[in-house]
Amino acid sequence: MVKRFFGFEMCAAFARMGQLLAIAAVLSASAAQGQLFKHHPKDQPDAPSTERAKPERPASQPAAFTVPVEPLGFFAPGAIYQGQRESLVSLDFLDEDHLLFTFHAPGLIRREGKPAADNERQIRAMVLALPSGTVNAEALWTVHDRGRYLWMLDDGHFLLRDQNKLQLGDASLELKPSLLFQGPLLWLELDPSQDLIAADSREPEGAKPPAGAVPSPATASAWITSDEGKSEAEPNIVLRILRRSTGQVMLVSRTRTTVHLPINSEGFVETLRGKGHEWVLVLNYFTGGSRVIGSLDSMCAPAVEFVSNPEVLVTTCNPDSSRWMVAMSTDGKRFWNVAKPPTQIWPRLIMAPNGLRFARETLTVTHAIDTFAPLSFDDVTGQLVEVYDAISGNVALTAPASPILDGGGNVAISPSARRVAILDAGAIQVYELPAPAAGLPAAR
């Protein structure tokens, strides 16, 4: 399918953005695999998820210290959450010596005369001093869906998402209004410098925006058409790229599905089909123009993530269902690559704020998952975390995570990339690693 992108002032920079919709469709299909899990009926008691998983292999090194989580009020979610990809936990470093631990608190606090809204849930938040685990601050937040709700910033602040608003918080857990959108905010991602936000929100055309909402300037607006004919579905998802500090909108585009948009401070990367199984990676600059980063063979649309401003990690699909991870620079130099087995699925990447390390978290399963061998609940053996040096591709740490949280949020890397926190075995396990190498790797 060929897509065409039309716009106003930023046409040159976003000339082929419609291609991203095809990638988004692949990502959406991947997320839908959660429905392949076999669940118990909701009227039956739910066993803790830890009882369902087989023991994972031990960590490659012992934790430096642990913080038990049961005294904090956290208990393993029931098995019924497995496969739903819901965000139940967020574990983040505020700085080297303080963790922000937030988690879904089962049950709702009923307020007099004000019944709970649909999908309303409570999130308990705690700031923990390390290594003691002392609770320095505590709060209870209300959010209204099951998606990711928290994004940590590298200055000790964080963004909390709920409905159509973003709030800015700090170590005191006090929240201040940050950005207001014209409709429910479905997803957002930040560039490595955390100055730019790519946000998807649901905004039916013609709806009156609330006062103070981020604008949709005509000079940044755009629309997408398709050669396959007009769809009956209205393009009610609005993609915006805006500056976090000022709210300045650089792009507004209407789509029919949420779009994953890997961005850095210069532009965004899109993947375009070449011949056969070839995919071409193109960096489109916000100021106009583009350049080809390189090309890779893949049986699926490659997943692209920025590790740091000049380095991207590209994950491709091999014919045997295994994965191939390639680290490369935005000027086309390849740094390192590694093969990953087909028994590691649903990968999630967690980046260190300085870009020198990242964690790859996956579910481990008994067999490769495909159309003829779908995923069943009993196939899951555990959840594995691997921490990589971005410079060399060497694995600095391997460790299990439990309970299995396929929505992620149970792994964090400190600002220096020397500490890794993982929720496992009833405690937050904190590992201490040697200082990572700085700079960019040599091209191979």
d(CA 171, CA 212): 26
Longest Cα separation, the chain: 65
d(CA 243, CA 249): 7
Report which of residues 50 and 282 the model is more confident about. 282
Least confident piece of the model among 40-54, 98-112, 248-262, 277-291: 40-54
Q: What is the arithmetic mean of pLDDT over 288-299?
A: 93
Question: Quick check: 85 pLDDT over 90?
Answer: no
Question: Quick check: 14 pLDDT over 80?
Answer: no
Question: Quick check: 61 pLDDT over 60?
Answer: yes
Residue in 41, 39, 51 with CA at minimum distance from that of residue 75: 51
Q: Residue type for 437, please?
A: A
Question: Quick check: 311 pLDDT over 60?
Answer: yes
Q: What is the arithmetic mean of pLDDT over 281-288?
A: 90
Class of residue 214 by CB neighbours under 10 A (exposed 0-12, middle 13-18, buried 19+): buried
Pair 7, 14: CB distance under 8 Å: yes
The backbone region for 332, taken as left when phi is positive above 0, alpha when psi lies in -120 to 50, beta otherwise, is left
Domain-located, residue 444: no
Report which of residues 221 and 99 the model is more confident about. 99
Least confident piece of the model among 14-23, 348-357, 429-438: 14-23
What pLDDT was estimated at residue 244? 93
d(CA 198, CA 178): 15
In this structure, the number of other CB atoms found within 10 A of the CB of residue 251 comes to 22
In sequence order, the 6+-apart residues with CB closer than 8 A to the CB of 56 are 364, 381, 382, 383, 384, 400, 401, 402
Domain-located, residue 110: no
What pLDDT was estimated at residue 31? 38
d(CA 296, CA 271): 10
Parent domain of 19:
3-105+118-432
pLDDT averaged over every residue in the chain: 83
Pair 174, 135: CB distance under 8 Å: no
What pLDDT was estimated at residue 404? 94
Residue in 419, 434, 443 with CA at minimum distance from that of residue 67: 419
What pLDDT was estimated at residue 317? 94
Question: Quick check: 154 pLDDT over 80?
Answer: yes
Q: What is the arithmetic mean of pLDDT over 135-140?
A: 98
Pair 53, 404: CB distance under 8 Å: yes
Domain-located, residue 298: yes
pLDDT band at 119 (very low <50, low <70, confident <90, very high): confident
Identify the residue whose tokens are 């031990």. 58
Domain-located, residue 113: no
Pair 27, 260: CB distance under 8 Å: yes
Domain-located, residue 261: yes
What pLDDT was estimated at residue 49? 43
In this structure, the number of other CB atoms found within 10 A of the CB of residue 104 comes to 22
**Sign of the C-alpha dihedral, residues 176, 179, 185, 187?**
negative
Identify the residue whose tokens are 């946000």. 199
d(CA 329, CA 313): 9
Residue in 333, 345, 321, 320 with CA at minimum distance from that of residue 391: 333
> The CATH number of the domain where 179 resides is what?
2.130.10.10
Question: Quick check: 38 pLDDT over 50?
Answer: no
pLDDT band at 437 (very low <50, low <70, confident <90, very high): confident
pLDDT band at 47 (very low <50, low <70, confident <90, very high): very low
Sheet holding 334-340, edge to edge: 303-308, 311-317, 323-329, 334-340
**pLDDT 10s digits, 219-260:** 666 543 333 344 556 778 999 999 998 999 988 888 888 888
Question: Quick check: 83 pLDDT over 50?
Answer: yes
Tokens matching residue 26: 């692949």
Question: Quick check: 403 pLDDT over 80?
Answer: yes
Pair 240, 248: CB distance under 8 Å: no
Report which of residues 19 and 161 the model is more confident about. 161
Domain-located, residue 442: no
Question: Quick check: 13 pLDDT over 50?
Answer: no
Residue in 306, 351, 342, 343 with CA at minimum distance from that of residue 327: 306
- Domain count along the chain: 1
What pLDDT was estimated at residue 309? 93
**pLDDT 10s digits, 323-380:** 999 999 998 899 999 999 999 999 999 999 999 999 999 999 999 888 888 888 789 9
**pLDDT 10s digits, 165-219:** 999 999 999 999 999 999 999 999 999 999 999 999 999 887 788 888 998 887 6
pLDDT band at 26 (very low <50, low <70, confident <90, very high): very low
What pLDDT was estimated at residue 10? 43
Residue in 171, 175, 159 with CA at minimum distance from that of residue 244: 159
d(CA 287, CA 261): 17
Domain-located, residue 112: no
Domain-located, residue 437: no
Q: What is the arithmetic mean of pLDDT over 275-302?
A: 93
